[in-house]
Structures are given as structure tokens and as C-alpha cells.
Amino acid sequence: MAIGLDEIVLNINADHLANPGEDVFDPELFRQSAEIVIAKLEKYLGESSIRGLALANPYALLEAAKDLMTDEHQSIPAFDQEKLGAIIDLYIKTGIQVYSPGYMGRQFSGVIPLAGIIDLISSIVNQPSSFYEAAQLPNVVERIMADELNKFIGWEPETFAMVTTSGATLGNLTALLAARNHKFPNIWSEGISALNGQYRPAVAVSEDAHYSVDRAVGIIGIGENQIVRLPINKERQICIEQVRPTLEAAEKRGLKVFCLVVSAGTTSVGAFDQLDELAAIAKEKNIWLHLDGAHGASLLVSDQLRHKLKGIEKVDSFVWDAHKMMFLPGVCTLLFYKNKERSYGAFHQDASYVFEKVPDMYTQFDSAEQNFECTKRPLIMNLWVLWALYGKALFAEKIEYLCDLTQQAYQILKADPDFQVLHKPEANILCFRYLPSNLVDTDFPDFQVAIRNRIKEAGKFFISKVDIDGIGSLRVVFMNHQINTDHIRMLLSEIRKTGQDLLNLKNNH
């Protein structure tokens, strides 16, 4: 029997629908693409020049990116390796050069390359890790890493919990939710109205707390006006002598502080609050104690530096960004709870399509009831593989080197009359000002920020800035173990030259 034209077309379409875009899934194409990428990354990792950030005109970059996009949309075009190479080059060129000794500006680092390879595996095998059945190994090693890291915390085994989540902002939010729901059990279902106006829930934070805490307070319905600001001392830690009077004054205003948020490595200067003393006050006042250790908790793995977190075993919860001082790809945040049962207090949902009504040995490894994400990347794998192969020494040695380097930078600056150091560094963050004798502050109030911006534009060094007591200051964060004191002196020379150029420019006008 003859086959009609319509039937032939239907058969062709059916074949196409059965394997749409099959070529892009081809393993050989994967190898070819990977070889292009690896060759370019190998060259990138081997580059040792001093370079900062080359800021491109965003509109020019927009057009450059558009030019790399295909115009073919009716069918899938053939693989274009030159175009792929151009895309990778543009991506690398326009990024912060995190492996360069000129990079001293942010709290993320060049990653240990093996961690990037593990991240590639996680992307390809695609195992969202909130449920054991979807990501068996990630959920098991999350438990392993919790026990490994608890060796530096000191909680009783099996009594605590650790959950991975996507960033300390989300970790802080989750912990505050758990604290709020623990102190006000009906608030999740009934909202703030459940309190019947008896009092206003409040959160106490350091004056130097990260802005994510303020955001979290707003998101969970407490309101920024119910944030109690705790004064800081000259080391920019929470001033212990002022905590009780400040809390008592808040209580007289009708505020019920249910959570006290403290820091280990503040973003501005890297200050570590005194956990022992603050824990005693929190216990006395029946307040949940949460530690934002996003930056500084990594010091726990160092025998030399762990004392900075003395008393951490007394906090109720804390966050730890492994993608900062543990040199992993962003993001990998660890959220710890002292009491395992309270780790389930942040969220309360029934969802038959994911949650099992009858727990079994598999569901006890699920974390979906404890974290915000349903689809969550297997964040722990990058950390676990490195830990499995190298143990804590890999991380401890890098952290100790960077903290020691920061102390050396402090001494160099302190010995130079043209510079003013603003604090004694506790980790790897250092803030200072360039104050030459020919500077009149009142004539140039934005001098420090102007120096930073000019240096950033020059593209050799990338540093950051921060306001200290309302005055602009220069800020360096040492995240790259390839930096040494020679690079620090080169930076200071660049600051001097830039500062003098700015002063001459201003005087000539």
C-alpha cells in the first residue's frame, strides 16, 4: 500500500520529536567542549601577573554578548567551538581576577581547582539534595561533615544538626525563623496577630551586623523598627557592658527580644564578638543566641586560631560560609543548630508529593523540612571531597597564612606615618586610611573612596572601601595565598601615587 506525503511528514516529525536536540547530549561533544574549557582555565590558573578588575562599559559588554548569540532559531545550529571559546574568554576577562595577587577586595576567593571539578560533576549528574532519594551520597556526606566539623565545636554527638543552604543570608533568615517560632509557637500559623498586642517581638544585633540580618527581620514580619542595636567597643565588638542596659531599655519600651545575633568576623573589619560573655547574658534573659559566622567560623579548623570562637558550643545556632575561607565555589553555607529538634522549627508544611508520612531509614537523611530550598544543589560535595582527600590541614594552612599575612600588613602600615590603621586585625580583613601631610580633610572628605575608585579603574589592584564611624576608609581582604608582603608594599605605593595625583588634580582646579 502506498504511503501518502502527509504520513511521511508525520513520521519525520515523530522521529524529530523522539530525539529533539540529540546531538547536544552527545558524550563526544561533551568531551570536545570540556577540552576547550579546560585548556582555557588551565591558562587562566597559570597566569601570575598582578591584575585587579577591568571594568567594561556595561552597554558595550551587552552588545558584545549579543554578538555571540546565534541568529538561527528554526533549527539547532551546528556546534561552534570558536564561538564557545569566545564566550569563555569574555567570561574570564570580565570577572574579578580572584587568583591574582592584585585581588584584595572581597570575601570570596579563587577556589581550590579540584572543587571546581566536583562542581562540574554535580552539574552534570544533577542531584538536588534536599531529599535522600534524589541525592544519596550528598545527603550521607552531609551527615559525615557535620560530625567532622563538630569536633571543633564540641556538642554531644547525635544531639545537634547541620543543614546546608545557599548563602549566609538565607542561613540567617532560616535560623531567625526557627528562633521566632520556638519563642512564639503560634506565630507561624496565626501571624503576628497571635500575640494580641501584648508585646512586640524584637531582635538584638550589633551596630556592625551584616545587612542580611536586617533584611531577615523584615522578611519574617518583625519589622526593622523592632531591631535593638547593641553598641560596639573600640575593637568594634559588641560592648558587653552595654548589652544588659540596652536589653532592659528595650523591654521598658514594650519589646520582647527573642533572639540575639552576634558575629564571628564582621564584614566591615572582621571583628569577633565575645561569645562566652554574650552566651551568659542570653541564657540569663532566655534569648536565642545566633552567631553569624559566615566569614570567621572557618577559623575553627585551625588549632592556632580556634580560640577566636571560644564559647561557640554555647550558641543555639550559627552559619558558616565554606565558600569564603574554605576556598570553595559559591555557595556552600553550613547552618548549625545546637538542638536537633529545633532545626525542624523554621518551617511547617505538609506536601504529600515530597514529604513521607511514615519516616524510614531513608527519610531520616532528608533535609527539606529544615531548609528553605526544595531543589538544592549538592553543596556539601565540594567540601567533602577535599576533606576526604586532604583533611583539615589543607584549609588550616591557607587560613593561617592569610591571617598571618594580615598581621604583617598591619605592622607595615602601623610603621608608616602616612597611613592610619583603624583596628588590629583578628583575621584577614584590614581597614586603614592614607593621610599624607598635605591632605586637608575638610577640603577632600571623600579622599579615601576616590583613591579606591581610581585604583579600581587602573586595573592593577582591586581593593574595597567601608565607612568606619561615618568616615570613608580603605579595606583589604586577603583571600589569595599567592599574595606576599612585596605585593602589599606595591599596593601602598600605588595608593600613595594615586592619592598624590588626586590632590594635585584638586589643587590645580
Record the pTM.
0.92
Residues whose CB falls within 8 Å of the CB of residue 182, separated by 6 or more in sequence, listed in order: 288, 342, 345
Query: Of the candidates 442, 54, 454, 235, which has an alpha carbon nearest to the alpha carbon of residue 465?
Result: 454
- Predicted confidence (pLDDT) at residue 80 exceeds the cutoff of 60: yes
Q: Residue 442's pLDDT is what?
A: 75
Residue 129 and residue 378 in contact, taking contact as beta carbons nearer than 8 Å? yes
What does the alpha-carbon distance between residue 265 and residue 326 come to, in Å, rounded to a whole number?
A: 14
What integer is the mean pLDDT of 425-447?
A: 92
What does the alpha-carbon distance between residue 334 and residue 141 come to, in Å, rounded to a whole number?
A: 13
Each domain of the chain, given as residue ranges in start order, spans 127-391, 394-508
For the stretch 242-269, pLDDT in tens is: 999 999 999 999 999 999 999 999 999 9
Could you tell me which CATH number the domain at 394-508 has?
A: 3.90.1150.170
The pLDDT > 70 percentage for the chain reads 94
Average pLDDT, the chain: 92
CATH of 127-391 among 3.40.50.720, 3.40.640.10, 3.30.2320.80, 3.40.190.170 = 3.40.640.10
For the stretch 210-243, pLDDT in tens is: 989 999 999 999 999 999 999 999 999 999 999 9
- Predicted confidence (pLDDT) at residue 2 exceeds the cutoff of 90: no
- CA torsion through residues 391, 393, 394, 396, sign: positive
Residues whose CB falls within 8 Å of the CB of residue 42, separated by 6 or more in sequence, listed in order: none
* Reduced 3-state DSSP string for 412-470: HHHCCCCEEECCCCCCCEEEEEECCCCCCHHHCCCHHHHHHHHHHHHCCCECEEEEECC
Helix (H) or strand (E) segment spanning residue 161: strand 161-165
Higher per-residue pLDDT: 404 or 21: 404
Higher per-residue pLDDT: 413 or 196: 413
For the stretch 17-65, pLDDT in tens is: 456 567 899 999 999 999 999 999 999 999 989 998 888 999 999 999 9
